[in-house]
Structure 1
Amino acid sequence: MDLAALAEGRGRLAGPTVAVRGVTAASDRVRPGDLFAALPGRNVHGATFAADAVSLGAVAVLTDDAGAALLAAQVPRLVVPDVRAALGPVAAQVYGQPSRRLSMLGITGTSGKTTTTFLMRAGLRAAGAMTGVIGTVATMIGDETLEAGFTTPEAPDLQALLAVMVERGVDTVAMEVSSHAVAMRRIDGIDFDVAGFTNLSEDHLDFHRDMDDYFAAKLGFVKRATQAVVVVDDEWGRRAAVESRHNATTVSTDGEQAGVRALDVHEERDGTTTFWATGPWGSQRLGCAIPGRYNVANATLALTMLETQGVAGDPVAAAIATAQVPGRMERVDAGQDFLAVVDYSHKPAAVDGALRALRPLTRGRLIVVLGCGGDRDRGKRPHMGEIAARGADVLVVTDDNPRSEDPATIRRAMLAGAAAVPTGQRGEVVEIGDRRAAIVDAVERARPGDTVLVAGKGHETGQEIAGVKQPFDDRVVLREALGAPSGATS
């Protein structure tokens, strides 16, 4: 792509035009022929690293006026008013507008994004589609799994990834869209066919000013898609449906008036659900193999998004009904006489939902292992401790990913929330900082008919302590505590 063509309608070209072969905002990841995006930072402008980028083969720099003043005179540059706003569209142009050659299905919301994405993937594959997945658990091209970084990658990486998917024959992409990605304009330059909205609850308030700001980011994504499907089981969903710029298809599982409704829901003893999804296409038998009433909404949303895109039929519904999702209410079975589950619930509403989902399946006690992450929203820690102490018979407070924080400080905040629950309304509360020891303790406490829930990390395979990520997988540790080899399957 000629640099002069990229400059048209965006900014001014300074220096000679050159051929651009790729785009990156990371100076240490430059490849020969790349356009280096020099973003303004809080303390240092990215143009400071332009010389390093050029030494690795960058042929030009995308920057603003402040960055241009820091560049050597001979470096070709495209100067724009807002580098981040231009980055996604520029990368999309360099990589051939890949989203326009794909069916792009994006899902946003606080909880349920990963589950809905994997349910859609199952339905799409049953319909014969070649799928791509971008999200928290993994990035997938067909059957190949790539290591996930951000829930939504940075704009140049995302556009390059979509281009590779096109090259490899992918026709439909199911993608999680985080509020960070919207606010930081990572998804700019992508044409979404359908946007799905799951729900909204307290999260990421270390990044967003308040819940209204958090909602505005989610709504911004919903508005940009050609069509939208919105779950209206909470007030935020109802607002999203009303404030969306188009006539969104609404979904309800709790009796709200909606275009698509889940009716006659039956929860089985093993945690699976069956129900009827009724919408413009008529009524269809549907189900979900993942425990939790809230997964009825995720399954119905997945089906409706596919129907909206013209992907329908009994094989699609059957695939959604039987699909599993890594680290989402994932059972770990080593032949024990109690239920053991690993779940990614690391937000107040998600913890509450997991406990409510498992309580009907539990004849004995519900034992929960839970921690909170460091360097993140501190306000939710007491709330999570309160919810877990109120909903569990035994709460083992432990470490999650303390990152750079003192783990004991994080646990104290959770314990304070637990202690605020009146004595007669809370379960036994135990503090064991070491997460492996906490999981072992929970298993040793369990008796026939009990349920052990290890919550917070789900699919994650590392634990970050003092800035160092060490290997740790709740599923592996739980299997070992149950007496099964670490390689055993769940």
Structure 2
Amino acid sequence: MPLSALFAGVPTLSPLPTLEAAHITSDTRQVSAGSIFFCIRGFTHDGHDFAAKALELGAAAVVCERGLDLGERQILVPDTHEAYALCCANLFGNPQRRLRLVGVTGTNGKTTITHLIRDVLQGLGHKTGLIGTIETDLGGVTFPAKYTTPDPLTFYSILAQMADAGCEYAVMEVSSHGLDQKRVAGCRFAVGVFTNLTQDHLDYHGTMEAYFQAKKSLFSLCDAGVVNLDDPYGRRIVQEAPCPIRSFSTSQDSADYTAKSIELRADGSSFAFVGSGMIARVKFPVPGEFSVSNAMAAIGACLALGCDLQKTTALLAGSHGVPGRFEVLRTGTPYTVIRDYAHTPDAIEKVLSALRAVTRGRIMILFGCAGNRDRKKRVHMTDLAARLADFVVLTSDNPRSEDPMQIIEDAKPGLLQHSTPYAIIPDRYEAIGWALSHCRQGDTLLLAGKGHEDYQVLKHGTIHFDEREVVAELLARGISEKTEDEQGGTDETFGNCRGGRQQRQL
């Protein structure tokens, strides 16, 4: 492709060389003869430091934000993140212009809401693609996702495949990282949805305000927005967004759409969706007030797209939920086992509150804190778990390059603020077996943090780890509920901390 076509509409600060681009990339490992290399400033590395190497590997030119004394072989731009995304869009013929885009952002709820919107649109006869945390759906062909919002080259390739497959819509989760790094530059969203904002990703953004500004930037790319009025940051977006906004709430009549007569049950929830001149009764097969909020967001987005309210709510009633999102595992036991992706303080609080309303016995939560992620949220997670559950099993969750026991030590102070009994078992497989063996009739065991994931990321590599399979295997081996006498009393007993387990008994 001629550079003049590749850079069409892309701001530049230097003349474009007259040459053909054989390939574009921001990764020196992908550089080949005739490539255009984009110098991207990353979280740990700066692509400008690898510009000379890219030229040695055969790159025809490098795109940079500052002069590198490379003569005509450098193309200077104000922002390489934006330039890369816009060039990727041009490379694939701007497929975003052949689709109606729906973007969902926020800390929690993105995956559920995007799936619900996709399911409604498909149910109404519109071929729809999806890009998200769990999977990428090209309008009928699905494959596992690696990142919530892919890099621009992958992202625009996916949109091109959707458009070529005849999709009318593309519904996507838009992460704060993706927005901050301008991976979706060049897109115009028919609708943007904001769920909420709670502590997460501060290792990257630094402050909640920076995190918020990244999320809010989605609405500068939208024709319309649907925003959660129950969230304080959502209320800010209502005031600050540059596009028209419709708000939703589970409690506030000042919202454009309000949930009334909410009923929460173990098998789901129901409510009246009320707006100006409209009302519909909604039955949704996932329990919890957070599920009502997710359903409200999906309905609001579909209305913004011109969908009929009654048809939309009828299709939601037939939804089967999302794998790993408040998913009840089939165990055949007198207690309930649920797996959920809750991996932030807010998500843990919401899912435990939902379980409290429908659990007859005790609630046991098993979770860990991810390695190489925001360390500040660890103690908040254990604090909420110990406050809202009847028993806590603290274990590992993708420790990555960190020492699993150090992660646990970072999180442990939150447990010690409460008298809630707990067990610390670093090995997640062993921890699940221990938790299953201590469940009784009427209890609920929540496996939190991994949700749909079928792997565990360890220091020396990634292993297969699917909690549905783990639970089934352990139960097949004869793990069963124990009696109160078998479980002992409530005195504090501790084992060897390093590599062993610590326990305040059940």
Q: TM-score, normalised to structure 1's length? A: 0.91
In structure 2, the residue matched to 1:109 is 106
CA offsets per residue over residues 37-72 of structure 1, 9 Å max, x none? 233454552414424653xxx6554334435x358x
Q: For residues 25-174 of structure 1, what are the structure 2 equivalents within 5 Å?
A: 25-29=26-30, 35-40=36-41, 42=45, 45-51=49-55, 54=58, 60-67=61-68, 69-70=69-70, 78-174=75-171
Letter of the 2:269 partner, please give it.
T
Structure 2 distance, partners of 1:429, 1:293, is 27
Structure 2 distance, partners of 1:213, 1:152, is 18
Displacement of 1:78? 3.6
Displacement of 1:153? 0.7
Identity in percent? 37
Residue 204 of structure 2 aligns to a residue whose secondary structure is coil
Structure 2 distance, partners of 1:24, 1:236, is 36
Residue 300, structure 1, aligned to residue 302, structure 2 = no
CA offsets per residue over residues 59-98 of structure 1, 9 Å max, x none? 554334435x358x7x5x5432321121111211221111
Aligned pair count? 472
Letter of the 1:63 partner, please give it.
C
Cα pair 1:4 1:13 within 8 Å, conserved: no
Q: For residues 311-330 of structure 1, what are the structure 2 equivalents within 5 Å?
A: 311-323=307-319, 324-330=321-327
Change (3 A) 1:105 1:43: closer
Change (3 A) 1:128 1:385: same
Displacement of 1:484? 8.8
Letter of the 2:54 partner, please give it.
A
Residue 458 of structure 1 aligns to a residue whose secondary structure is coil
Q: For residues 31-430 of structure 1, what are the structure 2 equivalents within 5 Å?
A: 35-40=36-41, 42=45, 45-51=49-55, 54=58, 60-67=61-68, 69-70=69-70, 78-270=75-267, 272-280=268-276, 282-323=278-319, 324-421=321-418, 423=419, 427-430=420-423
In structure 2, the residue matched to 1:450 is 443
Q: Which moved more, 1:231-240 or 1:317-326?
A: 317-326
- Could you list the structure 1 runs, at least 4 aligned residues long, displaced by more than 6 angstroms after superposition: none
Cα pair 2:11 2:77 within 8 Å, conserved: yes
Residue 214 of structure 1 aligns to a residue whose secondary structure is helix
Match of 1:17 among 19, 23, 26: 19
Which residues of structure 2 form unaligned runs of 5+?
479-506
Residue 441, structure 1, aligned to residue 434, structure 2 = yes
Cα pair 1:104 1:192 within 8 Å, conserved: yes
Displacement of 1:481? 2.4
Structure 1 distance, partners of 2:284, 2:362, is 25
Structure 1 distance, partners of 2:209, 2:434, is 41
Q: TM-score, normalised to structure 2's length? A: 0.88
Structure 1 distance, partners of 2:95, 2:207, is 34
Displacement of 1:293? 0.9
Displacement of 1:22? 5.1
What RMSD, in angstroms, separates the aligned Cα atoms of the two structures? 2.1
Change (3 A) 1:406 1:193: same
Residue 202 of structure 1 aligns to a residue whose secondary structure is coil
Change (3 A) 1:444 1:380: same
Q: Which moved more, 1:121-130 or 1:90-99?
A: 90-99
Letter of the 1:204 partner, please give it.
H
In structure 2, the residue matched to 1:488 is none
In structure 2, the residue matched to 1:459 is 452
Letter of the 2:105 partner, please give it.
T
